[in-house]
């Protein structure tokens, strides 16, 4: 979604739209382990207004994200529900105003006549992600010995030690 800066007024306006976030999948592809899979679109509701040259955005993002559990390796879905609040201020490199440190101030800059909200929405979505994907806080994961999903089956380590086929299977896995 793009908004013209000169159409942002002091009285808040509401906006409902869907934003494409699929390119986040590229960010998580290739070299990094894929922990999450993002939907093509998320729903966004925003109220926006200006105070002087600063632009304020407040609202929420909703959607469904797929995660890959770091313990049992299964995929699971979780709802994305995030309140968003961000302020855009004129880029100081183009305005030559006082120095602003983006990290300290929690501000982002704009320098165009038209603001593309997509990068801000994507950034907000990334901020909602858990540091480690878990299908469930209590997920018991896979047994490192027999590979059984301990959420579904008991560990077979003791049994497999007596079973020559399982011993062979374990050896093959170790070779990989």
Residue ranges that bind Zn ion, judged by CB under 5 A? 69, 71-72, 135, 139, 143, 145-146, 155, 157
Minimum CB separation of residue 134 from Zn ion in Å reads 6
- Shorter beta-carbon distance to Zn ion: residue 105 or 159: 159
- Shorter beta-carbon distance to Zn ion: residue 72 or 117: 72
Minimum CB separation of residue 135 from Zn ion in Å reads 3
* Separation in Å, CA 52 to CA 30, 40, 138: 43, 35, 49
C-alpha span between 156 and 165 (Å, rounded): 13
- Shorter beta-carbon distance to Zn ion: residue 138 or 175: 138
On whether the CB atoms of residues 38 and 22 are closer than 8 A, the answer is yes
CA angle centred on 25, ends 61 and 82, rounded to 5°: 15
Minimum CB separation of residue 160 from Zn ion in Å reads 8
């Amino acid at each position: 979604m793009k908004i013209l800066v000169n159409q942002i007024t002091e009285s808040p306006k509401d906006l409902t739209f869907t934003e494409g976030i699929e390119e986040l999948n590229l960010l998580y592809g290739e070299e990094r382990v894929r922990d999450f899979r993002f939907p093509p679109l998320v729903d966004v509701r925003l109220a926006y207004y200006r105070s002087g040259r600063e632009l304020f955005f407040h609202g929420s993002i909703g959607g469904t994200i797929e995660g890959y559990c770091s313990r049992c390796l299964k995929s699971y879905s979780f709802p994305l529900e995030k309140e968003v609040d961000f302020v855009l201020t004129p880029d100081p490199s183009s305005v030559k105003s006082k120095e602003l440190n983006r990290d300290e101030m929690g501000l982002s800059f704009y320098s165009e006549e038209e603001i593309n909200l997509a990068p801000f929405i994507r950034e907000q979505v990334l901020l909602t992600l858990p540091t480690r994907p878990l299908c469930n806080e209590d997920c018991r994961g896979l047994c490192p010995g027999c590979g059984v999903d301990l959420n579904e089956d008991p560990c077979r380590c003791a049994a497999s030690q007596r079973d020559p086929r399982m011993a062979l299977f374990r050896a093959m896995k170790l070779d990989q």
